Amino acid sequence: MALRRKETIGREPLAETAAARAGPPAIEIGNEGGVIPATLTQPGATRFWLAVILIGLGAGIGAVALSLLLSAVQSWVWPSTNANILDAAARAGAWRHALVLIGAGVVTGVGQIALVQLSSGNSIEITSAIWFSAGRLPALRTLGSALLSVVIVGMGASLGRASFFPEA
């Protein structure tokens, strides 16, 4: 009986019989034995690749919806005849800038209070979720935070300094 090595990520390769495998080797991921199928003939491959396609479609539809929400908020808060937000903001008076930013602050405060109440105070600190919850985030709070961020950015408020490396 011939033995072949199974390709793995992050662990020692495992030996198995050549007869037990069909096609190119699959890539084993994680500690739970999950496998990314290399061909459609492997067990579970159809379900796996269908999930990949559906997740991609869902992400694309979500991106379009968030873009439309951003555009709607911008055109409501900064109305313009030529749909140029920069021109609309430049023509607006100082009082409008102040009112819009105060409104964004109120929306943010009320939104955060509502999110904490709806999600029983579950945190969505990404680093903590990765380390302590296997990367799981509370769905309602995460979606609500994303929508709230899009709305306040559309109003012209800053979310803070953008950085790939959080300061300690």
The pTM score is: 0.66
More confident residue, 4 or 56: 56
- Give the separation between CA 153 and CA 27, rounded to whole angstroms: 41
Cα torsion angle, 93, 99, 105, 108, sign:
negative
The more confidently predicted of residues 150 and 36 is: 150
Q: CB neighbours of 26 closer than 8 A, spacing ≥ 6?
A: 6, 7, 35, 36, 37, 38, 42
Residue 2's pLDDT band, with cuts at 50, 70 and 90, is very low
Which of 4-18, 54-68, 143-157 has the lowest average pLDDT? 4-18
Q: Which of 14-23, 55-64, 123-132, 147-156 has the lowest mean pLDDT?
A: 14-23
Give the contacts of 128 (CB within 8 A, at least 6 positions apart). Answer: none
Between residues 106 and 86, the one the model is more confident about? 106
Tokens 């140029």 belong to: 84
Q: Higher confidence at residue 16 or residue 90? A: 90
Specify whether the CB–CB gap between 89 and 77 falls below 8 A.
no
Tell me, what's the pLDDT at 34? 67
Q: Are 48 and 131 in contact (CB under 8 A)?
A: no
Task: Annotate 74-108 with b (16+ C-beta within 10 A) or e (fewer).
Answer: beebbebeeeebeebbeebeeeeeeebeeebeebb
In contact, 47 and 28? CB cutoff 8 Å: no
Per-domain boundaries in the chain: 92-160
* Average pLDDT, integer, range 82-109: 87
The 10s digit of each residue's pLDDT in 80-90 is 777 677 888 88
pLDDT tens digits along 42-95: 888 888 889 999 999 999 999 999 999 999 998 898 887 776 778 888 888 899
What average pLDDT does the segment 113-117 reach? 85
What pLDDT, on a 0 to 100 scale, did the predictor assign at position 122? Answer: 56
